[in-house]
Structure 1
Amino acid sequence: MDLRIFTEPQQGAAYDTLLTVAKATEDLGFDAFFRSDHYLRMGAVDGLPGPTDAWMTLAGLARETKRIRLGTLMTAGTFRLPGVLAIQVAQVDQMSGGRVELGLGAGWFEEEHKAYGIPFPKERFARLEEQLAIVTGLWATEVGKTFDFHGTYYDLTDSPALPKPAQRKVPVLIGGHGATRTPRLAARYADEFNVPFGSVEDSARQFARVRTAAVEAGRAADDLTYSNALVVCVGKDDQEVARRAAAIGREVDELKANGLAGSPAEVVDKIGRYAEIGSSRIYLQVLDLDDLDHLELIAGQVQSQLS
């Protein structure tokens, strides 16, 4: 089971804080550092000092880290034109020496679009399908050849399809709970399918839908990696769990029901239940980015039992 650290910087984190967490992620042996792609805080937090851009952050971290994978859960398709996004991701992949992964979604948080003047079209899922075709098509085009795409929402003519990523193929992540269109899209474009904040039972159902869609699309179901994203709150004892839950404004019982919370043994046991339904990667949503002792505890007493 791979454990990846997943952050939500829109809730309040400067680049230096993210850099500290990313370096701890690397030093403690976690597989990757991922971040959300949002421009507005959610819930009862002030979000200070304000949002950081996902791909600018990852570009900086690409030069400041050496081993960990870097990526987004999920980049909002509404934020960037697909041709521009393909260039940005390819460049960051080059800057990292080939360690980048792209999680791409339709975009859903209407308030952040209103706050920063970003269009929020109704046909976001249809746009996402074209975006995936364009981004992957640009990267796959041979050097010296051009790429054309003429869709409903985007039109590219004689694109040189440059630059190329350092990797032969940047892994693409697609996720969500949609029962029909999402599995179909994942089957066509994804290297990994992620269920965000889903129970073991819900994840099993969604993984099954994606596996079926993959076979129907002519792929082996096991061609895809299946993963989950879950909030994490681990403590050496009940008091430490309660303290960490309070620090992020959550209740212990709710976190145990909907995330990975409790003692290291409890968390290892629940991760095992996700492994049983085919999940091989967990994105640990860490909400208190100043609590590096939390990461050390997870590395020392949770991750060490999963290798």
Structure 2
Amino acid sequence: MDPMDLRIFTEPQQGASYDTLLTVAKATEDLGFDAFFRSDHYLAMGSADGLPGPTDAWITLAGLARETRSIRLGTLMTAGTFRLPGVLAIQVAQVDRMSGGRIELGLGAGWFEEEHTAYGIPFPKEKFARLEEQLAIVTGLWETPLGQTFSYEGTHYTLTDSPALPKPAQDRVPVLIGGHGATRTPRLAARYASEFNIPFASIEDTERQFGRVRAAADAIGRGADDLVYSNALVACVGKDDAEVARRAAAIGREVDELRTNGLAGSPAEVVDKIGRYAATGSSRIYLQILDLDDLDHLELISAQVQSQLG
């Protein structure tokens, strides 16, 4: 198959300190993975206690930017409800400079109402229209030539004569848009995204959604191959059935369910399934690692899965 990027994707709201995330990020780099990404949530989900409590995505990435050298760093996905778009553009540009140009911004509408309630964050009804304006503002600020100003008048946000500073280190910070929406999501991806990501989707649903994004790109005269297409899938790999079962139990999941809905099983099984995702046009997979203390898991994936993907 064509080369496939493997990235490590973490969910720190389920329970992880900055030091734990730093350890995983350094292992991600040392083992030759392409990137370290994290979610942007402030409340644990399911049965997790979330201890020691949430960490902020962009503060985490700022720290990691200074303590790593080569891996790319980003969010799946920053919640549009958490930050004003002008502030977000400054934060991401600054962290990109701190990293020497290794940052990627996944931006979504925000959906988890309970975390907003828990921390006093407004949870507006019309989130998607806000997301569209945020994408226009963040990318518009970055693309404004030095010495010129940026203004924007929308329904939800207005910017007047912004100096549009600081600029990121990269000419263009990759913007990721993702999701399962059939109409508005592909349209936004076609207009603003460097990469389209579909989370926790079957091969059939992946193929269908990638087709929608490609059609949306064609409809506005953008080459469909101009975008990167990617998946996010939970990983549970073991050298034998017993190890797979132990790793599944550690994250409170059933092996059969993970084999169906994620990347679970032996390295050979996982390589085979990745090949089926690659056939849909996916060239990058974010491996959701839920047990952040199990660095042997990353070592196994590096040695016996990544090594076979070209």
The answer to whether the superposition gives a TM-score over 0.5 is: yes
Letter in 1 for 2:40: D
- Which among 70, 94, 99 is matched to residue 102 of structure 2? 99
Correspondence 1:118-157 to 2 at 5 A:
118-157=121-160
Equivalent position SS for 2:234: strand
Aligned residue number for residue 19 of structure 1 = 22
- Note the alpha carbon deviations across 1:102-160, whole angstroms, 9 max, x for none: 00000000000000000000110000000000000000001100000000000000000
- Which among 6, 10, 23 is matched to residue 13 of structure 2? 10
Q: Which runs of 5+ in 2 are unaligned?
A: none
- Which among 12, 23, 41 is matched to residue 38 of structure 1? 41
Aligned residue number for residue 268 of structure 1 = 271
Aligned residue number for residue 206 of structure 1 = 209
Aligned residue number for residue 49 of structure 1 = 52
Residue 69 (str. 1) matches residue 72 (str. 2): yes
Letter in 2 for 1:278: G
Residue 256 (str. 1) matches residue 259 (str. 2): yes
Residue 163 (str. 1) matches residue 166 (str. 2): yes
Runs of 4+ in structure 1 deviating by more than 6 angstroms, as ranges, are: none
Letter in 2 for 1:289: L
Q: Which runs of 5+ in 1 are unaligned?
A: none
Letter in 2 for 1:26: E
Partners of 2:32 and 2:220 lie apart in 1 by 36
Identity %: 85
Aligned residue number for residue 183 of structure 1 = 186
- Note the alpha carbon deviations across 1:167-213, whole angstroms, 9 max, x for none: 00000000000000000000000000000000000000000000000
Equivalent position SS for 1:148: strand
- Which among 267, 273, 278 is matched to residue 281 of structure 2? 278
TM-score normalised by length of structure 1: 1.00
Partners of 2:117 and 2:202 lie apart in 1 by 32
TM-score normalised by length of structure 2: 0.99
Partners of 2:228 and 2:31 lie apart in 1 by 23
Letter in 1 for 2:114: E
Partners of 2:148 and 2:221 lie apart in 1 by 27
Partners of 1:199 and 1:26 lie apart in 2 by 28
Aligned residue number for residue 32 of structure 2 = 29
Letter in 2 for 1:139: W
Q: CA deviation at 1:218?
A: 1.0
Q: How many residues align?
A: 307
Partners of 1:45 and 1:194 lie apart in 2 by 26
Equivalent position SS for 1:129: helix
Alignment root-mean-square deviation, CA: 0.2
Partners of 2:296 and 2:120 lie apart in 1 by 39
Q: CA deviation at 1:242?
A: 0.2
Q: CA deviation at 1:305?
A: 0.3
Q: CA deviation at 1:281?
A: 0.1
- Which among 275, 300, 305 is matched to residue 302 of structure 1? 305
Partners of 1:63 and 1:143 lie apart in 2 by 26
Partners of 1:188 and 1:305 lie apart in 2 by 34
Q: CA deviation at 1:217?
A: 1.1
Equivalent position SS for 2:140: helix
